[in-house]
Chains A and B, each alone.
Chain A
Amino acid sequence: MFVAFIRNAIRFSTIFLFGSTGEIITEKSGHLNMGTPGIMCLGGIGAVLGERLYLLTIANDVDLINPFLCVLFPLIMTIIFGALGGLFFSFLTVTLRCNQNVVGLTLTTFGVGLNAFILARVPRGAGFTYASAYFYKLFPDTVVSSTGWFGEIFLGHGFLVYLAIILAIIATIVIKKTNVGLSLRSIGENPATADAAGLNVSKYRYLATMIGGAIAALGGLFYIMDYLGGSVEYTIDRYGWMAVALVIFSVWNPSFSIFGSLLFGALYIMPSFLDGLSFADKELIKLVPYAVTILVLVVTSLFNRKETQPPAALGLTYFREDR
């Protein structure tokens, strides 16, 4: 029971981890992308379209399905869709200098709407199980079962779970330890200074937002292909908001986000593992992550350490002529 709980918490937390890692990279460049839930929806759409594309073009017979390509198509489509979401956001906020909040919320509305549209086009009961079968497991069942509880907790996941953790760690290292990370942080903190130092603020913001979008979109892919097992019956936007909240919880550090998302995921699925709870009580437990986020906000602003504050230029559009 307990092992199953941990196993499911890790699986569930992957959704949040992708979303928050992507959002942190975006926010480090000073872009407050409220469109992350929408981008995650777009990622889900990319995943199902990718599978259909593969099945309709190359593998038009079930026997022709190649596991590698069957995974690769949805993956690439998801990344493209996510990056396009980021591109749309950057084009409006950097090039056309629109308000970031407005653009972000528009993007979310759009993503959710498109997702609902795709959902309505899929006949009831039909799913995307062909690709899903390959997303669901990385290690063979024999390996997993032979290692007991260890195998069930740590090995019994699809590759996306491991990818999410690796990406979060890589993102942390890049942000903290490299020249690119230094430049990225400086743009989020003080774009005028970065500009004076010869960095291309627009380029960094475009790229960070697109990469962040692509990573967040993987959350959508994971949700549909792995977590739901190929079903498109739910949209992911409500978990997208949690990913945005998680960014604050993890004080803009993707490594903290690994534990943060695990905590959020555990709290969120806990009600299903507790017996004898009323429906209302279950909903109450699901509420805890949000309360924790508020608590973190209160605590970080109480201590007021500069390192735990959001990037100073977060949400601000930069014009060179303003200086």
Chain B
Amino acid sequence: MENNIALQFVNISKSFGSKIANKNVSLDLRKGEILAILGENGSGKTTLMNAAIGIYYPDEGQIFVNGEEASIHSPKDAYNYHIGMIHQHFKLVDVFTAKENVILGLSKEDYKKQEEATKAKQDLKLQKIREEEGREPTKEELKKYNKRIKDSKSYNLEEAKRKIIKICKKYGFEVDPDKKVYEMSVSEKQTLEIIKALYKGVDILILDEPTAVLTPQETKKLFNVLRNMASQGKSIIIITHKLNEVLEISDRVSVLRKGEYAGTVVTKDTNEKELTELMVGRKIELNIKRPAVKNPHDRLFIEGLTYTNREGVKALDDVSFVARGGEILGIAGIACNGQRELLEGIAGLVHLDSGDIVFHNPKKNRPVTFFHHNVKQIRELAEKGALYDDDTKETLNLKGVSTKKIKEMVQKEKIMFYEDEIIDLRNKKPIEIRNLGIKLSFVPEDRLGMGLVGNMNIIDNMMLRSFRKGHSIFLNRKKPKYLAEEIVDELEVVTPNLKTPVRNLSGGNIQKLLVGREISSSPKVLMVAYPVRGLDIKSSYTIYDLLNEQKERGTAVVFVGEDLDVLLALSDRILVLSGGKVAGIVDARKTTKEEIGLLMTKSIEKQEVSYNVSQEDEEE
């Protein structure tokens, strides 16, 4: 039995600082099988595999290759043990041809090995001629023999091309060795990565989310190739979180949950429900407050948002929902299923293909305030006939009325709106949205990349949102300084002083600053993406409290999270995204973790199939 195991992990533990990525994980891969490793985001799948190919070195535990303990410190070591990995982000040089990419990094020893292998093969050929045909090889054959050996012992693109074509034929790949990588489709690039691994003699192939970037047809093709490889004795690990694919391709499934090993099952004896349970585990009771929703009102209407990203993949596909004021709308989904694009689309950072984003401001019969409008804007509104005088109940005409008079009227709350304010935000730039007087705050996923400037100090970072308000050519740091002091005090940000570059603070403190700044403008819509990622428990709870506070103020909070337990405990409703589509919107108070887990992993094809089945059921 022992001989049958190609790769074995024994009690692997790995932590990054205080964050534990893997804890006592043990699993094994048999020869010639396809093993799926299933788990939510952050469950430690990729970290574990990176240990096998030498990108990380585990803190504890051993890795056995073919029954012998292996010490793998670099990708090169891994290749010596015949282990190769296809990363999510391809390691290819764009301007090189396929063959150049394949032979990149071959050392002198590699060429020596290649020469020996070729020599053995060619010797065999000559021997065959001598024995079977009973004649001496001809001059041409000898010439060819010598040429092959000469080609194989050093850098030679012809030889590389020949070998690539051979590999393609053996496993059924379709790749042109002379094609440049930048001309290739994603699927071709992935195939090239696999060929690269096979060229270097890999027996154990690890694929990290290989289908994430592929179309269904390409996925089918990939699976055929993988099955082909497995049947020829290669062992394959495929990391994924798509249940239907796991069931389709794998022989066995190992499940990781929050860095720990949750169990292994044989694929044909299991079903989606069992896998989901293994993956998400039982519900954990969290002590997060969830105040009742008080007078909710529709705030943001999202209708049919569609966005195609640069790779030509539909990142958002017909997404529709309503965000209500005074409510937290949780957004669940496996990472990169459209969450980022959705928030950025609403914030005006990406250009959407189609769809509507309508901001709804309940203004009917309410007075105009200087909080949202200045005199110029009030004049414009009056010109459109949107305002009336509270005393006369007649449409207001501000032509020829002095600014002083208008100010006086506003202060006495005499100027009223006829209708609710409805503003189309689609494809408006952030600055345009702000100029419309809409308080839309966005706490992006990438704090230092999009939210704050790492090299600037706390005060200057506070100014990023407000520097346009200044009236003189010099910066006025007074107000931002007060704001910074306030945030540091109230949110207990640990910092030496306000002049510290934000970069030097810890993740939790950076996040507190960012959230603090965004809510300081008392937003009507607050969108937060993974606000507690990398934060300790105490900071996380501070953030949850802040979100609840905003909710009670009547803000429409959109919360993208990755921890289902938190989403369930904090949100009022949960929208589940899967493959850029809305898989469902559920009431967080009534739903279960399993239900959300199933919605999350439900791929589009699956959805259609189950729909057809239920229709048939009804007919019967």
Contact = CB atoms under 8 A, between A and B. Distances in A.
Contact of B155 (A178, A189, A197, A323): A178
A221 B105 CA distance: 36
B79 interface: yes
B96 interface: yes
Contacts of A178: 155
Contacts of B308: none
Interface in B140-190: 154-155, 180, 182
A193 B104 contact: yes
Given A198-B76, A198-B79, A192 B105 contact: no
A309 B96 CA distance: 13
A189 B91 contact: no
17 contacts: A178-B155, A182-B96, A182-B104, A185-B93, A185-B95, A185-B96, A186-B93, A189-B94, A192-B91, A194-B93, A194-B104, A197-B75, A197-B91, A198-B74, A198-B79, A306-B182, A323-B55
A186 B96 contact: yes
B183 to A, nearest CB: 9
B104 A306 contact: no
A307 B95 CA distance: 7
B118 to A, nearest CB: 17
Contacts of B79: 198
Contact of B94 (A183, A194, A198, A312): A312
B92 A193 contact: yes
Chain A interface main SS type: helix
A306 B95 CA distance: 6
B105 A198 contact: yes
Contacts of A306: 94-95, 180, 182
A178 B93 CA distance: 16
B100 interface: yes
Interface in B84-106: 91-96, 100, 103-106
A183 B95 contact: no
A232 B104 CA distance: 46
Interface in B346-376: none
Interface residues of B, number: 21
B4 interface: no
Contacts of A323: 55
A198 B95 contact: no
Contact of A197 (B55, B95, B105, B154): B105
Nearest to A178: B155
Nearest to B53: A196
B107 interface: yes
A10 to B, nearest CB: 33
A190 interface: yes
B106 A193 contact: no
A179 interface: yes
Interface in B406-443: none
Contacts of A198: 74-76, 79, 105, 107
Given A198-B74, A198-B75, A198-B79, A182 B91 contact: no
Interface residues of A, number: 20
Residue among A178, A179, A194, A197 having the largest count of chain B Cβ atoms under 10 Å: A197
Given A179-B154, A182-B100, A306-B182, A199 B94 contact: no
Nearest to A307: B95
A309 B182 CA distance: 13
Nearest to A320: B55
Nearest to A187: B93
B164 to A, nearest CB: 15
A182 B100 CA distance: 8
A189 B95 CA distance: 8
Contacts of A192: 91
A2 B92 CA distance: 51
A58 B95 CA distance: 52
Contacts of B55: 323
Given A193-B93, A196-B75, A198-B74, A186 B180 contact: no
Contact of A190 (B74, B76, B94, B100): B94
Interface in A141-155: none
A193 B192 CA distance: 14
B496 to A, nearest CB: 25
Contacts of A186: 93, 96, 104-105
A194 B91 CA distance: 8
A312 B92 CA distance: 12
Contacts of A185: 93, 95-96
A193 B93 CA distance: 7
A194 B105 contact: yes
A178 B155 CA distance: 6
A162 B516 CA distance: 68
Given A189-B96, A193-B92, A198-B107, A179 B155 contact: yes
B283 to A, nearest CB: 36
Contacts of A199: 104-105
B274 to A, nearest CB: 36
Contacts of B93: 185-186, 189-190, 193-194
Given A182-B100, A185-B96, A190-B94, 9 more contacts: A179-B155, A186-B93, A186-B104, A189-B93, A193-B93, A194-B93, A194-B105, A306-B180, A312-B95
A293 B370 CA distance: 56
Nearest to B80: A198
Interface string A172-185: 00000011001101
Nearest to B155: A179
Residue among A190, A194, A306, A309 having the largest count of chain B Cβ atoms under 10 Å: A190
A213 to B, nearest CB: 25
A136 B180 CA distance: 46
A198 B72 CA distance: 13
B104 A183 contact: yes
A185 B91 CA distance: 14
The 10 lowest CB-CB distance pairs between A and B, nearest first, are A197-B105, A179-B155, A198-B76, A193-B91, A196-B91, A189-B93, A198-B105, A190-B93, A306-B95, A197-B104
Contacts of B92: 190, 193
A23 B106 CA distance: 26
B4 to A, nearest CB: 30
Contact of B105 (A183, A309, A312): A183
Contacts of B91: 190, 192-193, 196-197
Interface string A184-211: 0110011011101111000000000000
A307 B183 CA distance: 12
A185 B93 CA distance: 9
Nearest to B181: A306
Nearest to B196: A197
A183 B55 CA distance: 21
Interface string B66-77: 000000001110
A196 B103 CA distance: 13
B182 to A, nearest CB: 5
A270 to B, nearest CB: 36
Contacts of A196: 75, 91
